[in-house]
Amino acid sequence: MGASGRWIKALVGFTKSKSSKKDNNVNIATKSRFGRKHSVDFNAEKFQDGLEDLNFHSVIDAGVSTSTSLQSYAAPCEEQRKEHMAATRIQSAFRAFLARRALRALKGLVRLQALVRGHVVRKQAAVTLRCMQALVRVQARVRARRVRLSLECETGQQTLQQQVADKARVREIENLQCGKNILIDMSIHTAYVKAIRSAQHFIYIENQYFFGSSFNWDSHKTVGANNLIPMEIALKIANKIRARENFAAYIVIPMLPEGDPTGIVTQSILQYQYKTMQMMYLTIYKALVEAELDGQYEPQDYLNFFCLGSREVADGNVNNNTKEEDGPQVEALKSRRFMIYVHSKGMIVDDEFVLIGSANINERSLEGSRDTEIAMGGYQPHHSWAKKGSHPRGQIFGYRMSLWAEHLGSLEKGFENPENMECVRRVRRLSELNWRQYAAEEVTEMTSHLLKYPVQVDRAGKVSSLPGCETFPDVFVDPARHLCHPDQRDAILDFKNKFQIQKPCLDRRLKSWENNSDCCSWDGIRCDASFGDVIKLNLSDSCLHGQFNSNSTIFLLQRLPFLTTLDLSSNELSGNIPSSLGNLSKLTTLDLSGNDFSGEIPSSLGNLSKLTTLNNLSQNKFTGKVPSSLGNLLNLTELILCANNFVGEFPSSFGNLSHLTVLDLSQNNFVGEISSFFGSSDHLTDMDVGNNILHGNFPLKLLNLTKLISISISGNQFSGMLPPNMGSLSNLEFFYVEHNTFTGPIPSSSLFTIPSLTYIDFLGDNNFMGSIPRSISKLVNLDTLDLSHLNTQGCGIFEFPELLRTQRNMKTLDISNNKITGQVPGWLWELPIIEYVSTSNNTLIGFESPTKHGISYVRKTSLSYLSGANNNFTGKIPSFICELRSLTTLDLSNNKFSGSFPSCLGNFSRSLEVLNLDVGHNRLVGKLPRSFIRIHFLQVLNVEINKISDTFPFWLRSLPELQVLVLRSNAFHGEIPRSIGLLKELHVLNFSNNAFTGHIPSSLGNLAELESLDVSQNNLSGEIPQELGSLSFLAYMNFSHNQLIGLVPGGTQFLTQPCSSFEDNPGLYGPSLDQVCGCIHATTCQQSETPDPDEDEDEEEVLSWIAAAIGFVPGVFFGLTMGYILVSYKPEWFMKAFVPNKRRHHNSLKR
């Protein structure tokens, strides 16, 4: 029996019955019926048991035995039933066998197929894997090459990239196994990077800091801010641009980092933020160019930075009168501006993923080796782009919309799709409007808080300060500021330390120069916008003192390789200019004016080929000839060499300076004629060669310079006639030819037809023929007219020019030093914008009151300077002068005014600075009016040589600005009060030739600014206060002709005084006095030194006019007025503070 038979035995297990023959017949019948070659022995009990196993209870009752069942039925039925059941059993078993055989065949077939196909599948899988690996390698190489190109192949960058890549791999590997097969990524940096790389539509970030990817900055690449987040965002946007898909990034950061806004830490963070922004925007712009979309879109259509702020109108309970010193908090409180500080740290990606934690986007938080940070990432599986097939609207979407509703004040439909260009531009527009409201002067209530971060981004991705708001409001810090390089900062400090700082120094520029701060934030320093290199060094008017002739000094400046502007003007630097100054090849502007430099100008300055402004070398002590090498400065636009001691003729090489617009060679000793090469300077607009020794006729070549605005050839030896075709200078505004020897008629027919002419000063000290031409009245734009010092042949000027009454635009009128008689006309006070009037040194006898418009109109005039000194004015001071409410200087000295002071002079409570009712011979009597106490800004009060009888005006202590007080030659009496020491600003104090008694108050020692003191010719007694010896500025003093006794104070100031300053005080003694005049107590010495009163008066008058002559410079008229006040001493501060310069000098020529 084979394999095919064993399955029947195994399943049925039948055997032959031995009981009867009948059973055998059944067996035979069964065999023949089913037609199989194998016999089957049917066992009823086993069959019944099998049926019970198969739960066939519906066929056979398990509770009835086999014998009982057989007895109940007839034998035929029993046999048929058995046969039927046996057949069913056999059929079922056979079918099961067939099924198992088919299953085995199927398994075999599968194994056969696997054997046949396995090799092909493995080969295809290997090929696919190799292709994927090759693709990954190619992508990695392309990305690496792009990074290397963006870094301009800098040395060592591959190492840095490898380090960054290694760190990234380590962060990916170092995971924490926590809980039940849950992986938590320890690297927040990796989580940010993966989320950004997975973003498909937009990214929204709020973070306390945002800077990184320093390896791709344009400078400061090695600061260590190497996190990849900014670069990943920029690259994500760039890839979307190339694919021409929408994508947007919104980044909200604080307006200012926490800490001192001017501190080095805050400045560093601001610079790193700027560098990060610049890097991202440039990356985006390059992608736009590659995709040829730069004409259609700009970087801010994809990336925008914001900050938060609010503005609230103050209610009645807010107190802005804080007692704290001025600072950002105080300014913000006054302006009602409040920065909302961003302290959150989170990112939303595509409204389906949110990352929230404690980590800032900076290296400290993301490096993983410093601060301990935590973050959580979350998403909703049923609210994703993949699940919804559209924009998800889950809880993350609701979270972002709630933030936007708070920041923007309301929600709009377009905010649901932040990636759309319309949404980006709408949000940016709203933030710009909010910023304007925040920065405006007017305080208005803000309903939304999202502000544009205050930087400007142009279409090429260049980040700069926001125009009109270069600094944060109330803080004055530039958000686009740069840190300078430490070596350049050290070079600047070393250069400054080469010189001494003169004390006292009013300039506070150097106060900001601290070694531990950013030198780009120092006053006078400007850095390059892209790289932070120092490009401008301005130390003008910084009280520097010392020698500059050392090459080591220039070497320090050479450590600033990108320096373009060097300004050392208005200091006290001395010595020769080193030739190495010509090595500063990047210089475009050089200004050394207002110092004590001497020697010749080195020819090496001609090497500064990029120099555009040699502005300037003026007001020094340079000597010799001007080097011809300056003609090599072909880009020069301004050349100013005035107020030196240059000699010789003008170098002919100046003809090469074709771009020259401003030329000032005045106040030197140049000789010869004006060379013809000046006629080739087509761009020249301002030319000043005045006050030299030039001669010849008026240079006709100048008439070819049609762009000329100003010509000054005054103070030379030019002769001949002015050319008749002066009208060809159609743009001329300023014309100075006074103090020459020009002759002939005034060319009024052409000169006075130039409509732009506003300033005329050419008649004085020449030999023109005829009177003042009436055609002057046609110059409707005439601003300044100088008719002083006329020496015309003919009618001259003997009366006030009536033709001037139509000059409604005139601001300055000078008719001094003539022979004008009569009265000052009343229409003069009705010229609407007149500011300066000088009628001094004439023979005028009075003032006419305004008649046409009356006194009320006079109050509206803008007259600020009025000088009527040295005339024949008589009677009382006219009261209408008190109505000139804009007056700052009033000089009526050297006249014959009588009567008392008009009390109305106190009306000048807001304007008057100089009141001079002085010398010769005014005859004012009475007392000084107390109304002067209302003139709070009064700086000069001079009432000398009158007949005033009064005690010392103690109320003067209420004039805090008073700097010059002269009471000499009157009848003041009584004691000098101690309150005189309260006038801390006094520079000049003169009580001489009065009847003061008592002691000199020791409080005079409090007048630290005092430079001149005269108490001579009084009845003072006691000692000279020892406190006066500590007044370091006191250069002139006179104690003579009193009854002083005791020790003369020591100190350098007393040792430099003449013996006459102490004479007629027999009780004085001391080493200082013995050193000054050892024979002061000897009778013969006293007799020989005692001057005759008349002789003393003459000597004093001579000294006064010497001082006046010293104080006089071209265009300075007030120096003549004040010369006698200071006698033989006229300090420089006085000239700067009180002498108005109505002349147009080179500084006013710059445009």
- In this structure, the strands spanning 450-452 and 375-378 are unpaired
The strand ranges marked E within 683-740 are 686-688, 693-696, 710-712, 717-720, 734-736
384 and 248 together in one domain: yes
Give per-residue pLDDT as tens, 569-605. Answer: 888 888 888 888 888 888 988 888 889 889 998 888 8
108 and 212 together in one domain: no
Higher pLDDT, residue 1148 or 417: 417
Pick the most confident of 405-419, 728-742, 745-759. Answer: 405-419
8 and 102 together in one domain: yes
The CATH number given to whatever domain includes residue 374 is 3.30.870.10
Query: Phi and psi for 747 in degrees, rounded to 5?
Result: -75, 65
Which range among 388-397, 508-517, 603-612 shows the weakest confidence by mean pLDDT? 508-517
Range of the structural domain that residue 17 is part of = 3-42+73-124
d(CA 626, CA 649): 9
Average pLDDT value for residue range 827-854? 83
Q: Is residue 622 part of a domain?
A: no
Structure confidence at residue 726 (pLDDT): 82
Using an 8 Å Cβ cutoff, are 639 and 660 in contact? Answer: yes
Higher pLDDT, residue 982 or 466: 982
Average pLDDT value for residue range 230-257? 93
Average pLDDT value for residue range 1078-1098? 45
d(CA 254, CA 206): 9
411 and 264 together in one domain: yes
How far CA 849 is from CA of 621, 706, 836, 857, in Å, comes to 50, 44, 18, 12
pLDDT(1141) > 50: no
Residue whose token pair is 């109320």: 955
Coil vs helix vs strand at 470: coil
d(CA 1103, CA 1119): 14
pLDDT(8) > 80: no
Q: What is the dihedral of CA 283, 287, 288, 289, to 10 degrees?
A: 100
Structure confidence at residue 1117 (pLDDT): 33
DSSP string, 548-560: ---HHHHHHHHT-
Structure confidence at residue 927 (pLDDT): 86
Nearest residue to 736 via CA among 676, 792, 690, 805:
690
Structure confidence at residue 133 (pLDDT): 82
Q: Is residue 201 part of a domain?
A: yes
Q: Is residue 884 part of a domain?
A: yes
Q: Work out how many domains the chain is built from and give that number.
A: 4
Element (H, E) at 178: strand 175-178
Residue whose token pair is 């050349």: 639
DSSP structure class, residue 362:
S
Pick the most confident of 164-178, 371-385, 974-988. Answer: 974-988
Average pLDDT value for residue range 506-528? 74
d(CA 125, CA 130): 9
Q: Is residue 998 part of a domain?
A: yes
Pick the most confident of 53-62, 132-141, 483-492, 997-1006. Answer: 997-1006
454 and 404 together in one domain: yes
What lies within 8 Å, CB to CB, of 555 at 6+ separation is 580
Structure confidence at residue 973 (pLDDT): 92
pLDDT(51) > 90: no
Coil vs helix vs strand at 42: coil
Q: Is residue 514 part of a domain?
A: no
pLDDT(283) > 50: yes
Nearest residue to 1036 via CA among 993, 996, 988:
988
444 and 363 together in one domain: yes
Pick the most confident of 2-11, 329-338, 831-840, 1115-1124. Answer: 831-840
957 and 933 together in one domain: no
Residue whose token pair is 């949404």: 423
pLDDT(166) > 70: no
Give per-residue pLDDT as tens, 631-658. Answer: 888 888 888 889 899 999 988 888 888 8
Q: Is residue 507 part of a domain?
A: no
Give per-residue pLDDT as tens, 675-721. Answer: 766 666 788 899 999 999 999 888 888 888 888 899 898 889 998 88
Q: Is residue 443 part of a domain?
A: yes
95 and 177 together in one domain: no
How far CA 820 is from CA of 697, 814, 825, 869, in Å, comes to 31, 12, 12, 13
246 and 337 together in one domain: yes
Element (H, E) at 732: none
Structure confidence at residue 1054 (pLDDT): 85
Higher pLDDT, residue 1095 or 740: 740
Give per-residue pLDDT as tens, 868-926. Answer: 888 998 888 887 787 777 788 888 888 888 888 777 776 666 555 555 544 446 788 88
Residue 563, CB half-sphere, CA atoms under 13 Å: how many? 26
Lookup: tokens for 1097 = 């008066």
Residue whose token pair is 């409509």: 755
pLDDT(428) > 90: yes
Domain boundary among 998, 1018, 1040: 1040
Tell whether pTM > 0.85.
Answer: no
88 and 235 together in one domain: no
pLDDT(545) > 70: yes
263 and 384 together in one domain: yes
Query: Phi and psi for 181 in degrees, rounded to 5?
Result: 55, 35
Core vs surface per residue 1110-1144: b (16+ CB within 10 A) or e: ebeebbebbbbbbbbbbbebbbeebbeebbbbbbb
Structure confidence at residue 792 (pLDDT): 53
How far CA 751 is from CA of 228, 745, 759, 939, 1101, in Å, comes to 72, 12, 12, 42, 43
DSSP string, 471-539: S-TTT---TT--PPPHHHHHHHHHHHHTSEEPSS----GGGG--TTS-GGGSTTEEE-TTT--EEEEE-
d(CA 308, CA 431): 9
- In this structure, the strands spanning 914-916 and 889-891 are parallel
Residue type, 600: E
Using an 8 Å Cβ cutoff, are 396 and 383 in contact? Answer: yes
pLDDT-based confidence at residue 41 (cuts at 50, 70, 90): very low
Structure confidence at residue 578 (pLDDT): 85
d(CA 480, CA 101): 85
Q: Is residue 448 part of a domain?
A: yes
For the chain, the residue count is 1151
The CATH number given to whatever domain includes residue 960 is 3.80.10.10
- In this structure, the strands spanning 914-916 and 940-942 are parallel
Residue whose token pair is 């960054």: 164
User: What ranges in 609-751 are assigned the alpha helix state H?
Assistant: 748-751
Domain boundary among 885, 918, 946: 946
934 and 955 together in one domain: no
Structure confidence at residue 405 (pLDDT): 93
Domain boundary among 900, 930, 946: 946
Using an 8 Å Cβ cutoff, are 215 and 232 in contact? Answer: no
Structure confidence at residue 161 (pLDDT): 62
